[in-house]
Amino acid sequence: MRRPALLIAAAHSGAGKTTVALALALALRERGRSVQAFKTGPDYLDPAHLAAATGRPVYNLDGYFLDEAGLGWLYRSRSAGASFALVEGAMGLFDGKDPRGREGSSAQVARLLGLPVVLVVDAGAMAGSIAALARGFRDHDPGLDLAGVVANRVAGPGHAAILREALAAVGIPLLGTLPQDPALALPERHLGLVPPEEADLPREALRRAARGLDLAALLAAAGRARGPRRAAPPYDPDRRYPGARIAYARDRAFFFYYPEVLEALAELGAELVPFSPLADPAPPEAGLVWLGGGYPELFAPELARNRTMRRAVRRHPGAIYAECGGYLYLARGLVYEGLCHPMVGLVPGVAEVADRPVLGYREVEALRPTRIFAPGERVRGHEFHHARLPPSRTPLWRLSGGGLEGHTDGRVHASFVHLYPLSNPRVLYAMLEASGGSLAGGRA
C-alpha cells in the first residue's frame, strides 16, 4: 500500500521545520487523519513534541544507523495503520555525516524511502532570493522530489505574493506561509527544545499557522510518495529471551530513549520496568539497570537528596548500562551552578557542565570483556552533551576516529555515547542476556 507522505526539510537549522511539522500534523489530525510522525537523525526532543501533536510514538530514521532495508522496515512497520506519514528532517536537507549529505542526512532518508520533500525557508529577510535558494536545493540532487516551499516568518500578503511569484518563475510552488508570530516559538535550552511535559504545545498558535498552509497542494504532493523499495528488520524477530528484565530510568531527569529500541527489546522477550531516580527508593529488581540520557544537571539537588536510590544503584548486583545523563549520575559528584552534588559514585571523578557542546556520530569498539560487550564489538551511536568527566583508567570504548571514551569495571558500562543497538543486533541480544534472559531453544 502506498501511503501519502512528506518529508519536511529546511535549508538550515532554525528555519522552522518543527513548527511546520507540528502545524501540519495538528491540521491533519483535526481533519480525521491518523498521522504517523518520524524524525531523521539522532534526536529525542523533537519527537516528543511530534508525539504530543499526533498522539502516537515517534521514531527516528537515520541512514547512518540503519541500512536501506532497516530504514524501510522501520518506516513501513511503524506507519502501518496510519493514513499519513510525516517525517521531520534534521538540520539542513543535505547536512549529515559527510559533506555531500550521502549518509545520515534528511536527503538520504527521502531518497531511500521515496518521500517528496517540502523545503521550509526562513523568508523573514528575503524576497526574490528565495527562488535562487530553492532552485539550488532542487538542482543539487535531481534524484529528490522537491514538492515545493513553505515560507516561514512572512510579513503579510504582499510579502507572500512576492515570494510566490519568484518561486513560480523557477517552477517551484509555494505550498504555504507562516507568519512572524512570537507565540509559535517553542522554548529551548542547551540540548534543544524543552520537552512537552514542561512546556505545552502552543496549539492555538499552531492552528492559526496551519491556515497559511495549502493543505490541498500538500496532500497532492504527499500522494507522490513511493515508499521504501526494501524492508527487513535489522534483528531476528523470531528470537526470544525469556527471563529478561530491564529496569530503565524514566522521569523528568532521564528520558532519552529510542522507542524502536525499547520496542525491539520487548518484542524479543524483555520485561521493561520504568523507575524514577528522582522519586523512587530503589530500582525494580532486574538483571540490567539502564540509565538513559536526559537533564540530571537540572535536577542535581533532588537526585542528591534521594540517598536511598543512589545507594541502591551503587549496590545493584546486576549489569548497569548508563549513557550521557546516566553517566553523569553514576559519577562521584555533579557540579552545577557552582555547587557539587553527590551522585552514585560508580564512576570515578566529578562531572561538570562544559561551555561548548560535543556532538556528532560515533562508531565505538569495546575494549575489554564486560557483561554486555565482547572485546572488539562495534556499534554505532552519537554524542550530544555539554558536560565533561575526567578520563577513566578503564575506558569502555575506542572511538573509530581515535581516542578512548567511557568507563567500565565489567559490571558498569558508562559513556557519553548514546548507542543505537539496532545498528548491531548482537548488542541487542547481549543486553537481553545481561538482563537475565536465556535464548529460547539455544539457537545461535
Catalytic residue numbers? 324
3-state secondary structure 321-347: EEECHHHHHHEEEEEECCEEEECCCCE
Amino acid at position 416, single letter: F
CA 70 → CA 37, 76, 326, 383, distances in Å?
A: 17, 10, 28, 22
Burial class (CB in 10 A: 0-12, 13-18, 19+), 411: middle
What's the CA gap between 245 and 383, in Å, rounded?
27
Tracing cell 499526533 back to the chain, one arrives at 54
Contact 343, 329 (CB under 8 A): yes
432 in Cβ contact with 244 (< 8 Å):
yes
Please give the span between the terminal C-alpha atoms of the chain, in angstroms, as a whole number: 35
Query: Rounded CA gap, 338 and 334, in Å?
Result: 10
- Judging by beta carbons within 10 Å of its beta carbon (0-12, 13-18, 19+), is residue 101 exposed, middle or buried? buried
**Residue for cell digits 527508593?**
281
Q: What are phi and psi of 76, to 5 degrees?
A: -70, -45
Which grid cell is 142? 535531481
- Tell me the three cell numbers of residue 250: 524514566
Report helix, strand or coil for 28: helix
Distance of CA 90 to the CA centre of its chain: 10
CA–CA separation, 173 and 179 (whole Å):
18
